[in-house]
Structure 1
């Protein structure tokens, strides 16, 4: 059994602590973990059946049932740090370790432990670009929209997440960020390339105008943060270190900046009436 060495919190002297054994989950607990891994899924105690949990999934006011499990399965996941309860103890959600375990299971074989640090998604910067495979685990916006506070609410809502993603796509299309991998639309050695270079240049100019308009709307005091966060995908801790900000302050400023950006794009969490209803989360 592995032994880890830590400092005693009272005396500061090294102390030995037995590491948690990596035991297999009971079958029902494993199924519950899979259900909690679905988008916006959570479990709560069943008010009609003591000792049971009801799993719900969905968001933005839409909730769909996803099964009933024994409360012991939830306790098993929480004890293994694969799920966590909110401060009120009424909502059980999957933890970061739980998602890593699901990714290991999905990958299997030699790639299992590498997959736990990846969250691969297919993205398309615009309608004319080639789809790109990205690791969402490296995107701080994806981390913020999945990370929940003590109240069970994500650090940023879907509107703020989409606003940050739209700015990143425009910055990439405007050639303001370094491209990772091959650029299939660029001129090739054989003289090939985009069929209409002029239209390609217009596309870049239009993207730069959208970026400039968005940053001007947010304000110069917050635009630099959005460039680092959405464009260069710098984490919150790194931003705090580089800017010499207090710990956990970047999270608050990022919320304000993304909120202003969402207002600029006209993104809202919910419509406020037929005359003001907007198309939400439209990918242009």
Structure 2
């Protein structure tokens, strides 16, 4: 089952269906679409950025448009895919508060585990999605965007609860974390210092670091992890040299990236590339 909504005036795309939406990814392929995958009674297996994941039954994963996906197996899945033109995460963040947590957060692939009551709500919402996709009228696009906003809000709340953000951090600190993650996603290719992000957030580097203490991480670690993740993607999925990748990620000297990469992976970029063959 696949339902596709397109809006030619804006190039908006929304796809709702099952694992058939993922089957074309027999090899890893950049998604280009924001994607939710919900399992039912069966497990599913996927590779994301060359890392294998098992999605347990009655779980939801959220993937961004820049990640690489390979579908391995799974059945009775519920899949939602949409592009920025259908629903721009940044433009609508005031509605759903998901940017920097559900999408482009410090968790590589958020996994959400709804309870029985929450699963029931999501299944009802899915039925409404399907019904609306079959209803062709002048407000269809608006209705579908409202439904997607509702779906994202539910999953963001569940993720906050899972990560303990509601209990351990004040709303102000949660918003600071989200803002940092979004700034990082925007600037990591050129800005690698904590002071840059602290300044953008009107904080001192020390204050910013203190706010991350309850998450058992630091701003500098998150910056480095994002740089290394991007380097891995480029090493795996492009033919660029380690030197070219270093320049792409904002290093004037390729040896600086090499040292950082080895610190996090125990391998130099060249060694990492060789082991893929």
**TM-score under structure 1 length normalisation:** 0.27
Higher relative contact order (CA 8 A, sep 6+): 2
